[in-house]
Structure 1
Amino acid sequence: METTQMDLQVHYSQAYLVDADDECYPDGMLDDSPTHPVGIIRVEKGNAFLITGLHTGTVSFTVAVADQDPGADLEGYEDVVEISFESPSGHVSLYEWGGGGVHGIPPLSVGPGTYRFRYHAYGMDAAREADTFDVVIDRYLLRIWPAPHRDPVVLKSTGSYFQYWLSAG
């Protein structure tokens, strides 16, 4: 498993994972799955819209790319969801809101294809309450591995801000 950790600058509680074949990050909020909502991550081919608790400031963000399911960290995170993602190129980058910065991610393990994202969140409620802060309050882990397409699923749900996004559709 290849892991990359970064301090990610967010605005409007947003960050984006963008495939190398796409020209830019999503132009607005992507729709949640209508039948299996997961709230804090939304995808379309080549793009993922990631929601954080902090409105503006720095969050801790880790991306781990594996060649098989690395398992969920249900003890270390408060909210954990999964969703399938299609990568046309096999290469993705993490973009800060408004083009503020681009962070490289290790190449996806089997190149172009379908992957599973497991998005872990910790501290979303405290970060949302703080709203704007330069000290890291919330942290996120995105695990990526090749897998056939499956319905999105919520593995763990404890935070009220997560529940807000889950019901926001």
Structure 2
Amino acid sequence: MDQVDPSQMPPDEATVNEPARTGTALVHAEYHLFQITDPQGPVADDLDTSRTGLVSADGGAIEVATGIHTGDVRVTVESHTRRPAPARGWEEIAEISCHSLSGELLVTPFMDDPADLPSLASQGPGSYRLRVHARGRDRAVDHTTVDEVVESYLIQSWPAAHQDASLLRATDAYGAQVRDQPADDTIVIDREDSLDIRVGRERDILRRAQRGEYS
């Protein structure tokens, strides 16, 4: 995937706007991921993680790929009314579009309740763009225990029409490894399998196991 140089964005697409609604919390990652979900159902069509190496969509949820297999990562969210400038000092930056039915886009551990963070759907139901920044994914790749939090993420959101996923910055080794993996087969999203329903999550785990993702 071609990278997008943030410095080449048109002025109206890289402008610092109003103060964001923000929050920071530790989020538990499992199986190399945490999610962004809507309580009422799917938020995006499936997009393989090999596209950006950082953010993807599976089973109706947005997924953020972590270097650590299992453990806490530090996540900060910023909800904007207009497209903000990408933040500086991050190793990987990627964007993905999504749609919120309920007006709630929540950072969520894979098999747990949403984290104590503000919703990323600041303007209620509708279409949003998510920009995910990552740092520290190479420090504890595949580890299941760490003595301290080594990975940090910043997720910016703003209302925007759907666009293809894009990779803005790619410098860590873990992202390159993920992008080199073959793309998975397309999976049809069943609304009844929405990830807020336990049966949907159980089916998602089974599907992932069949695809060999749990290693």
Q: What residue is the counterpart of 1:125 in the other structure?
A: 138
Q: 2:52 matched to which residue of 1?
A: 38
Partner in structure 2 of residue 78 of structure 1: 91
Specify the alignment match of 1:109 in structure 2. 122
Kindly tell me: are residues 136 and 147 of structure 1, through their superposed partners in 2, closer, same or farther at Cα, counting changes over 3 Å? same
* Identity value in percent: 30
Asked whether the 8 Å contact 2:28–2:71 carries over to 1, the reply is yes
Whole-angstrom CA distance in 2 between matches of 1:50 and 1:129? 15
Q: Does 1:5 align with 2:24?
A: yes
**Among 3, 22, 31, which residue is 2:41 paired with?**
22
SS of corresponding position for 2:139:
helix
Q: In the TM superposition, what is the alpha-carbon distance from 1:131 to its structure 2 partner?
A: 5.0
* Secondary structure in 1 matching 2:179: helix
Q: In 2 relative to 1, CA 33–55 (structure 1 residues): closer, same or farther, beyond 3 Å?
A: closer
Any idea what SS the aligned residue of 1:58 has? strand
Which among 110, 115, 140 is matched to residue 97 of structure 1? 110
Matched, 1:161 2:180: no
> TM-score normalised to the size of structure 1?
0.84
Which of 1 and 2 has higher RCO (CA within 8 Å, sep 6+)? 1
Distance 1:81 1:57 in 2: 22
Find the aligned partners of 2:69 and 2:142 in 1 and give their Cα distance. 9
Please point out which of 52, 61, 69 is paired with 2:75: 61
- Alpha-carbon RMSD: 2.5
Distance change in 2, residues 1:33/1:129 (3 Å)? closer
Shift of 1:43: 2.4
In terms of Rg, which structure is larger? 2
Structure 1 alignment gaps of length 5 or more: none
* More strand as a share of residues: 1
Question: Quick one: structure 1 residues 154 and 120, their matched pair in 2 at CA, closer, same or farther if it must change by over 3 Å?
Answer: same
Give the paired residue count.
Answer: 161
Partner of 1:47: 61
Does structure 2 conserve the Cα–Cα contact (< 8 Å) formed by 1:12 and 1:55?
yes
Higher mean C-alpha deviation, range 7-16 or range 154-163? 7-16
Counterpart CA distance in 2 for 1:163 and 1:9 is: 23
After alignment, is 118-127 or 37-46 more displaced?
Answer: 37-46
User: What is the letter of the counterpart of residue 21 of structure 2?
Assistant: E
